[in-house]
Amino acid sequence: MKKELLILAVVVAFSLLTYWLVEPYAHSVMHPHVQNRGFQYDGTADIEEMQNKISALNESKAAEEAKEMRDPKAIANIEADLVAAKTRLETKISFWKDIKRIAALPIDINLTAGEAAYQNCLGCHMEGAAAMGGVIPPRLESAGAIYDRNYLIGLIKDPAMVSNVDHKFSIVRHHEMESVKYMVSTDEDIVNVIAYLQSIAPKAEEITPKVAFEDSCGRCHSVKYKAWTVIGEKPRFKLKKDDFAFELKKYEYEEGLTQYMGKLPPDLSMYIRSRGPEYISAFMEDPQQLLAGTSMPRVGINADTAEKVVEYLVEAGDPKHEERDRIGMYVMIYMIFFVIAAYLWKRQIWKDLH
């Protein structure tokens, strides 16, 4: 008996050791802790990112080597990179300062003027719009409820800058939405059009996880477990011919999307499982921070919408999650009863033998 107890103690001790020491460590390596910043868009993250880049350039091995070797060409290259990075930093600082200024303006809202300005948006964001550059401009019916206000101001001012993909564009290559700044150009128009968007949007509690996902991510990402494709939900076709026609249309759109983004954005059915909700959340808010150089733009949704997107992805990647939790409880209760019953039974049977 003593020996058995000793073995049990050793097994328990090792199990606890694994559980408390090794498991969290393995978890921290495979899923490093990441956290969103609360979906407040004020430029802090982008400015920090540029400052870090500048210090990395200053301290890089290439820079040290160039100085040591007194190689004028290498030094000039590094100087040029530094000047470019510093210019980007200055541009970002003044861009976000301007957003803050507009956000705080005491403007009397004029919804009629907002509606008039909104007509400019509909020029591209209309029902059944064709792909532009490689994406279909998303529906704007929900925009007033799902996007952050600061982000929307920034989007009209400079879409590449606010979504932190300015490095992909240049004097010759413009963001597809950039021309909006010539159409909706005064501070009053910007504030009014956003107020108008908010006035036509459903209330936040009426936005479902499905709408949150489709309107903010659906033009780039498919979720095949939900039958969602980048051109919309795939219907069940009776005729094979219609199925092929849909697939062809999707394929052609994906080709354009791949060209626009440099690669085809992945299907998100299983991402919630491989990366976890914290990662997905932080990634949406600031893709560059977790995947430097990525072509995925920041999406600019508010915290409430981000939660709903995660909910949608959990449902897609792990549809049995809730059921499992519920059944798990029943199984535990059953086991406890079973152990008690087995013990009583054993006592009953052995009673006469002792």
Site for ligand HEC, rule CB under 6 A? 120-121, 123-125, 132-133, 135, 137-138, 140, 143, 147, 155-156, 163, 176-177, 179-180, 184, 193, 197, 216-217, 219-221, 261, 263, 265-266, 268, 271, 280, 283-284, 291, 294-297, 299-301, 309
CB 61, min distance to ligand HEC, A: 25
Residue 66 vs 125, nearer CB to ligand HEC: 125
Give the separation between CA 148 and CA 201, rounded to whole angstroms. Answer: 13
Residue 74 vs 124, nearer CB to ligand HEC: 124
CB 35, min distance to ligand HEC, A: 15
CB 41, min distance to ligand HEC, A: 10
Residue 78 vs 229, nearer CB to ligand HEC: 229
Residue 92 vs 196, nearer CB to ligand HEC: 196
Sign of the Cα torsion 340, 346, 348, 354 reads negative
Q: Give the position of tokens 């159409």.
A: 183
CB 277, min distance to ligand HEC, A: 11
Q: CB atoms < 10 A from the CB of 104, how many?
A: 8
CB 270, min distance to ligand HEC, A: 10
Residue 78 vs 134, nearer CB to ligand HEC: 134
Residue 87 vs 258, nearer CB to ligand HEC: 258
CB burial of residue 264 (10 Å; 0-12, 13-18, 19+): middle
Give the separation between CA 46 and CA 292, rounded to whole angstroms. Answer: 12
Residue 193 vs 195, nearer CB to ligand HEC: 193
Q: Which amino acid is at 43?
A: G
166 Cβ contact partners less than 8 Å away, ≥ 6 residues apart: 88, 91, 158, 160
Residue 66 vs 145, nearer CB to ligand HEC: 145
CB 85, min distance to ligand HEC, A: 21
Q: CB atoms < 10 A from the CB of 53, how many?
A: 17
CB 14, min distance to ligand HEC, A: 35
CB 137, min distance to ligand HEC, A: 4
Contact (CB, 8 A) for 287 and 45: no
Q: How far is CA 11 from CA 7, 16, 18, 22, 86, in A?
A: 6, 9, 11, 15, 59
Contact (CB, 8 A) for 27 and 278: no
Give the separation between CA 79 and CA 66, rounded to whole angstroms. Answer: 11
Contact (CB, 8 A) for 191 and 103: no
